[in-house]
Structure 1
Amino acid sequence: MHFSRFGLSWVKFNALIHLYMTGDRGLIQSELGNKMLVSRANITGLIGRLEKEDLVVRKNDPSDKRVFRVCLTNKACALIQSFLPVHNSYMQKIMSTLDIHEKEVLISLVRKLNKGLNLI
């Protein structure tokens, strides 16, 4: 419900926020797939769907014509900019249920999991 009010899903948001954080540079399709932990086939399909919604464009990489960079459209940037304050407020409410010690433990565990992901 949280994402759907903005026409998003968790997967769409995850892709768009990774691209948003890169600015105009965008990401190579495989980089985006790696960040999202999805297969090459899944990322290709997702990018295709996002293109149909006019949220991303594929551009030739200037340094390697064999690969595409995925970049946000102006429509996607506006969507993310309107959604982020709502999302941040939502996350703040969720996190407010944890006391300071629980938050520290959560952060420690997430860091540990992140290290494990980097080993894969």
Structure 2
Amino acid sequence: MSRNIPDPEEAPASEVSRLLQLMYRLGRRRSLRDPIAGLCEQFQFTPPQVHALLWLGQDGPLTMGELARRLGITEKTVTGVVDRLEREGHLQRERVHEDRRVVRCRLTGSGQQTFQQLHQLVNQALSQLLEMLDGSDRKALFRIIEKLVRRLDTSPEPQAPEEESA
């Protein structure tokens, strides 16, 4: 008689289902797609625009391709996001001297101010969430997230299909 012993590293379907149900329960209270989405209405931005400002404020200038990957959108789609943020004075495009085909986006002074406001509101929201947990639960949360980040850092990223040429 052969026993099926599950791989301890493999999440059983019941755990996947449990996590999914918990995520749905959280999503009923906050946007499941994006907890930052609540800031969009206040600032009159789309979620990708808010994320673009946060990434550029956090990491500094990024190429259009890097920004698209961070936002999880195509390079064609990021153009519209950047167009509006540039038109409203939040960022500017710059050509890279070494390769004039490469365009880098950087926050303007106005964009930096908006980033600071967004960053402060995100910090406040995270503080409120962490206050719901006691110290040992916060330590456990950080330990788990840090473990996930380490494992994601060491595993290869899945390759997105190439964009079709127009």
**Alignment size in residue pairs:** 118
Partner of 1:40: 75
SS at match of 1:54: coil
Q: Tell me the TM-score normalized by structure 2.
A: 0.60
The answer to whether structure 1 residue 29 and structure 2 residue 64 are counterparts is: yes
Structure 2 unmatched runs, 5+:
1-37, 160-166
Label 1:112 to 1:91 Cα distance change in 2 as closer, same or farther (>3 A): same
Residue 81 (structure 1) aligns with: 116
User: 1:76-117 CA deviation, whole Å, 9 max, x = no partner?
Assistant: 101111332222011111233342334433443455456567
Using the alignment, how far apart are the partners of 1:73 and 1:112 within structure 2? 35
Q: In the alignment, does 2:57 pair up with 1:20?
A: yes
Q: Over aligned residues, Cα RMSD in angstroms?
A: 2.3
The percentage of counterpart residues that share the same residue type is 25
- Which amino acid in the other structure matches residue 35 of structure 1? R
| Between structures 1 and 2, the one with greater helix share | 1
Query: Of the two structures, which has the highest relative contact order with CA contacts closer than 8 Å and spacing of 6 or more?
Result: 1
Cα deviation for residue 19 of structure 1 reads: 1.0
**Residue of structure 2 in register with 1:97 after alignment:** 132
Residue of structure 2 in register with 1:6 after alignment: 43
- Note if contact 2:54-2:119 (Cα within 8 Å) is conserved in structure 1: no
